[in-house]
Amino acid sequence: MKAGNPNKFARYAWAVLGYNIFVILLGAFVRSSGSGAGCGSHWPLCNGEVLPRAPEVATLIEFSHRLTSGLALLLVGGLLLWARRLYAPGQPARAAAKWSMVFIVVEALVGAALVLLQLVGDNPALLRGVFIAVHLANTLLLLGALTLCAWHAAGGAPVQLPKGAEAAAVWLGTVLLVVVCSSGAITALGDTLFPAASLAEGLQQDLDPSSHLFVRLRVWHPVLAIGTGVYLIVLARMWDLNGEPAAVRRTARTMMAVVGLQWVGGTLAVVLLAPLWIQITHLLMADVLWVLWVLLVATVHSVRAPSVSRLQPVPA
Ligand code: HEM
């Protein structure tokens, strides 16, 4: 490690992670309030101006999302510069800072493409669903890289997955979680574009073969979410956490509790027709669940730990 204060860097990295989650939630607010076209199809300018004059509410919402995400880009840039000063090449915190930069640039490009291709407002194009799913998957990669950066900076040892079934099990859990979240983003888009007046009407729409694809896909998100949640819980229970520090066991328990909360939150979203506060809470908890999953996988597989397979049945 080069000269500098790694504790301050770790605190900064956690703060950048928290700030990025805030920007993501603001992005969901842009979608659910239909403000994505608030700056017209202009990017990076807003309605052709650097600073919109006499803006409407939608313009204010979209513009504040652009300002806050621009600041997020600068903060991640700062993270990378600081990591390069503090750590030698190849050190995990520095590598994670570099990946954070890559993913936030992709995030900005996908956001810009949504605006420039006019995949905003009430545009129901299928391409919009693809972009939204990719946007959310990339968001998770960004949060994962920021989480690992902060965790390594705070003293987390390098991570190495043992080969074989163990690695496959971890990758499967990771991919499933990304797919669940991306399918949730399409569900949210369907709810925004084709709102139902009642639960019965919503269910009718879901089953109607003439409904838009986003609406017909809605039914799959809960199915995937329940299956994936069960899988993550089983995996966490099978990891032999007995020898791990209390903090690791706490992370595992918290992750399992968040899966349960997501099930409750998702059910409320269906029953109450997804009011804004539930949309935001459900997305926040999805991000928290992802961060906890990344932390759990990292702590269980840091090189301190024995490299033998950790998959062991939990004693009854
Ligand atoms: C592991 C559990 C779950 C995860 C990680 C998860 C994740 C997500 C994510 C990331 C979104 C997109 C939010 C947005 O872009 O604004 C979403 C939306 C949604 N989820 Fe889930 N979800 C889970 C469980 C469930 C369950 C069990 C249900 C139903 C019983 C459900 C119902 C919904 C609904 C209705 C939406 C759309 C809300 C809206 O209109 O904004 N979710 N979910």
Domain boundary residue, one of 95, 124, 156 = 156
Domain count for the chain, please give it: 2
Residues 180 and 233 occupy one common structural domain: yes
3-class SS of residue 302: strand
Residues 99 and 142 occupy one common structural domain: yes
Residues 152 and 236 occupy one common structural domain: no
Residues 5 and 120 occupy one common structural domain: yes
Q: Determine the atom of ligand 1 nearest the C-alpha atom of 269.
A: 35
Take atom 29 of ligand 1 and give the residue whose Cα is closest: 266
* Residue 266 alpha carbon to ligand 1 centre in Å: 5
* Residue 301 alpha carbon to ligand 1 centre in Å: 29
CA angle 98, 24, 146 (to 5 degrees): 25
Residues 139 and 168 occupy one common structural domain: no
Residues 104 and 197 occupy one common structural domain: no
Residues 170 and 98 occupy one common structural domain: no
* Residue 146 alpha carbon to ligand 1 centre in Å: 23
Q: Which domain holds residue 230?
A: 159-316
Residues 314 and 174 occupy one common structural domain: yes
DSSP H or E stretch at residue 32: helix 6-32
Q: Residues 218, 190: contact at Cβ < 8 Å? A: yes
Instruction: Please list the pLDDT of the chain residue by residue as tens digits (316 residues).
Output: 555 677 899 999 999 999 999 999 998 898 888 776 667 767 777 767 777 766 778 788 888 888 999 999 999 999 999 999 999 999 999 999 999 999 999 999 998 898 889 998 889 999 999 999 999 999 999 999 999 999 999 999 999 988 899 899 999 999 999 999 999 999 999 999 999 999 999 999 999 999 999 999 999 999 999 999 999 999 998 886 767 788 888 999 999 999 999 999 999 999 999 999 999 999 999 999 999 999 999 999 887 655 445 555 444 4
Q: Determine the atom of ligand 1 nearest the C-alpha atom of 190.
A: 40
- Residue 189's nearest CA partner among 229, 139, 135 is 135
Q: Give 281's Cβ-side CA count (13 Å radius).
A: 15
Q: Which of 114, 216, 221 to mutate to test the pocket of ligand 1 (most atoms within 8 A of CB)?
A: 221
* Residue 73 alpha carbon to ligand 1 centre in Å: 27
